[in-house]
Amino acid sequence: MTEPGALPPVYGEEVIMVYFVGIDIGGTFTDAWAIRDDGSVRMAKTSSTPPDFERGFLQALTELASAFDVSVETFLKDTVYLGHGTTVATNIMVQRTGARVGLLVTRGHRDALRMMRATGRVAGLGPEQLADTKNTNKPAPIVDPQFIREINERVDVDGDIVVALAENDVRRAVETLKRNGIQAVGVSFLWSFVNPIHETFVKDYIRDLWPDVFTSVSHELSPQIGEYERAAAVAINCYVGPETQQYLQKLEAELRRLGYSRPLYITQCAGGVMSAEEAMTAPIKTFQSGPVSGINAASRLGGPGSYIITTDMGGTSFDVGLIVAGQPLSRKSTVVDQYEYLLPTIDIQSIGSGGGSIAWFDSRQGALRVGPRSAGAQPGPACYGRGGQAPTVTDADLYLGYLNADYFLGGTMTLNRQAAEEAIELLAHQAGLSTLETAAGIKEIVDKQMGDLIRRLTLGKGYDPRDFRLFAYGGAGPVHAASFAKDVGVQEVVVPGSSTSSVWSAFGAATSDLVHVVEMGCYFKSPFDPAAFTSLIQDLTDQLDGALGSGTYEVMWTGDMHYANQISELEIELPPTSLSSFSEEVVRRFQAAYERTYGQGSGFHGVEVEVVAVRGRARKSLGQPDVVWSHDHSPVEPIGSRSVYWPEYGMFRETPIYRRVSGRLSGPLIVELPVTSVVVHPRQTIECDDIGNLIIRL
């Protein structure tokens, strides 16, 4: 068996080619990308198949195999790495179809999950929802209160046992939950991350008595201070756990049946990939799985020192991330369905602005709206001809001439322009506008929504978007990127990998490193003692060695820091503890980040600085080869022209259509790639660099 990073096998004098594959399942399309060990690549794009997503997964694999002119069995037999981005856990939360969950907590704290924080009513809500304050409320419970059981036990802040664990309480609680058909049990005791002895006992007890129930304990999942946040993490993990576990087990079984015998890797929220076994234990880490893959790929292509705004516009959502000095920005907390929990996550902000986002008329405000509801894969936009009646962004793009009805997905799918126009006409009648005004309004609204999200993520964190390049990928991204990038002041848009851009997250899934994150809550106050940090880092290093193997990975250490008596932290990269000025350097880095985030002069120099958590992000290469990008530099001519609407002119105009780019071309023009279209507006130019990226200069 060839493991990732090993040389291909040799049978006689024949060298057997091996493949590295990524499959990313979105709400509308399933994207696939493969690189052979000679650097050649192939890609595929198929419709997603909810609720049986594995069907779309296997169909994408079949198309990839066909692109390499081999059977899917041969393809999988010679595949040495398979990475997968999944939305299964996300869909469970969105649709609220999760497991029946039981939760064991320290006696006297059964209401922590329901009480939440003061921000529980508004956590994760968008600007319009926040403005409608009278209709804000806490989310529906994911654990029925009657199944939150209290256990006599208590560990204090120093890890000392104050109240011994009442084993009879545990036995009665577990038996009650089992009788009531509970499918997953979580355990979240006070200060368990300081001393996990009670949680460990309960976990072992449950597995002995009830081995087939999904179990999650807080000290393993989120070992940080924050009673509510740890309970929320455990509850959500249990809620999405059984179904995600079943999906991955079913997928692995099907892959084994077809001949794949190596590990399956899953893209994760902290960046990189994790084993399928870890994903089954902690499926909460698969939230934002696909978008993180795209950032992984952008970081890989951008290289060290790069400053990139990543934008992924698919069929359902628009996702934005930042790469600063070559590193994706991350955050320590996440909000899902208004529940906030502590888990290291690449900082991605999302809104329901995708190609399938439905346009509608808000009669209360007398205004057009776009999203967040999506037509999804079924029935999809009206122009798909699958029964969809509501107008979507894709319908508007087709009506305005940005898409070629006969060349969608490289001609494998034909769009119905008349159906798109009829859907837009119905909305136009409601809004009292012409069909053209409505279609143009849909495009303008979605572009402004995306521009606003970029501003929130950049300016809101102290970064000027004009200092960044913008990567536009996803099936709909290059269609709109030149508009929303101009809106925020970005000067250069990159469509990475040309045609590869529409399956960019699949590329990221295929080329990601194995990432493992360890963390521990702590309390250090400046001036810092390097020995205390060294001891904690050594404990965490031992965990990394056990998971990845000593000496096989690179690691970056960070600390969550704030000024004394503050409650919000910034994550700061720690200098080597061997540095003679370690304490001074830690404080300097924190103060610089603080003033960049909150404004010059906002720091409190002279005030004590505290570190409340230390985190190690380890990265291990899985041996993927470098991509051999190719580009045809021969002269290029338009393949024809069609009538396209340009907001700059306020009218339709005959516009040249290209199938590739060579040299520098001036807009307005459209480049039709097999799985996306690149729209270049007036007074913009486009060119192709040496490795096949399309560069739009605004």
pLDDT one-digit tens code per residue, 481-496: 999 999 999 999 999 9
| Half-sphere exposure of residue 116: CA atoms within 13 angstroms, side-chain side | 19
Name the residue with tokens 């699958």.
386
pLDDT at position 354 over 70 = yes
pLDDT at position 7 over 60 = no
Which one, of 419, 426, 329, lies nearest residue 383 by Cα? 419
pLDDT at position 13 over 60 = no
Higher pLDDT, 423 or 377: 423
| Residue 318 tokens, joined | 């628009």
Helix intervals (H) in 549-613: 582-598
Which stretch of 132-146, 510-524, 650-664 has the lowest confidence by average pLDDT?
132-146
pLDDT at position 125 over 80 = no
d(CA 551, CA 554): 8
User: pLDDT at position 2, please?
Assistant: 38
d(CA 193, CA 36): 44
Which one, of 236, 221, 199, lies nearest residue 99 by Cα? 236
Contact 382, 416 (CB under 8 A): yes
pLDDT one-digit tens code per residue, 243-263: 999 999 999 999 999 999 999
| Domain 514-620: top CATH class | alpha beta
d(CA 120, CA 338): 6
pLDDT at position 343 over 50 = yes
User: pLDDT at position 565, please?
Assistant: 87
| Half-sphere exposure of residue 272: CA atoms within 13 angstroms, side-chain side | 19
Strands (E), 526-608: 554-563, 570-573
User: pLDDT at position 58, please?
Assistant: 92
CA–CA distances in Å: residue 90 to residues 160, 310, 336, 376, 575: 38, 21, 9, 14, 36
DSSP H or E stretch at residue 56: helix 53-67
Residue ranges, comma separated, of all CATH 3.30.1490 domains in the chain are 514-620
pLDDT one-digit tens code per residue, 146-187: 999 999 999 999 999 999 999 999 999 999 999 999 999 999
User: pLDDT at position 604, please?
Assistant: 85
Amino acid at 291: P
Residue ranges, comma separated, of all CATH 3.30.420 domains in the chain are 301-487
Q: What is the pTM of this model?
A: 0.86
Q: What is the mean pLDDT of residues 445-455?
A: 95
Which one, of 666, 669, 655, 656, lies nearest residue 697 by Cα? 666
Contact 347, 334 (CB under 8 A): no
Amino acid at 354: G
Under DSSP, is residue 212 helix (H, G, I), strand (E, B) or coil?
coil
Higher pLDDT, 344 or 133: 344
Amino acid at 111: D
pLDDT-based confidence at residue 376 (cuts at 50, 70, 90): confident
pLDDT at position 316 over 50 = yes
Which stretch of 33-37, 442-446, 528-532 has the lowest confidence by average pLDDT?
33-37
User: pLDDT at position 127, please?
Assistant: 67
pLDDT at position 9 over 50 = no
What integer best gives the mean pLDDT of the chain?
A: 90
User: pLDDT at position 128, please?
Assistant: 66
Residue ranges, comma separated, of all CATH 3.40.1360 domains in the chain are 92-245
d(CA 522, CA 531): 14
Q: DSSP letters of 370-419?
A: EEEEE-TTTT--GGGTSS--S-BHHHHHHHTTSS-TTSBGGGTB---HHH
d(CA 505, CA 298): 9
CA–CA distances in Å: residue 416 to residues 393, 398, 423, 436: 14, 9, 11, 17
pLDDT one-digit tens code per residue, 67-94: 999 999 999 999 999 999 998 898 888 8
pLDDT one-digit tens code per residue, 192-205: 999 999 999 999 99
d(CA 488, CA 478): 16
| 92-245: CATH, from 3.30.420, 3.40.1360, 1.20.120, 2.40.128 | 3.40.1360
| Residue 229 tokens, joined | 């946040």
Contact 471, 490 (CB under 8 A): no
Under DSSP, is residue 350 helix (H, G, I), strand (E, B) or coil?
strand
Which one, of 474, 485, 423, 421, lies nearest residue 451 by Cα? 485
pLDDT-based confidence at residue 16 (cuts at 50, 70, 90): low
Q: What is the mean pLDDT of residues 115-125?
A: 80
Amino acid at 341: Y
pLDDT at position 315 over 70 = yes
User: pLDDT at position 10, please?
Assistant: 38
Which stretch of 268-272, 440-444, 537-541 has the lowest confidence by average pLDDT?
268-272
Mention every residue, 6+ apart, whose C-beta is less than 8 A from residue 248.
Answer: 264, 266, 276, 279, 280
Q: What is the mean pLDDT of residues 603-615?
A: 91
User: pLDDT at position 468, please?
Assistant: 96
Sort strands 330-336 and 339-346 into parallel, antiparallel or unpaired. antiparallel
Q: CATH fold of 301-487, please?
A: Nucleotidyltransferase; domain 5 (3.30.420)
Which one, of 317, 406, 405, lies nearest residue 356 by Cα? 317
> How many Cβ atoms are within 10 Å of 127's Cβ, its own excluded?
8
Higher pLDDT, 181 or 364: 181
Higher pLDDT, 41 or 403: 403
Name the residue with tokens 């991509």.
627
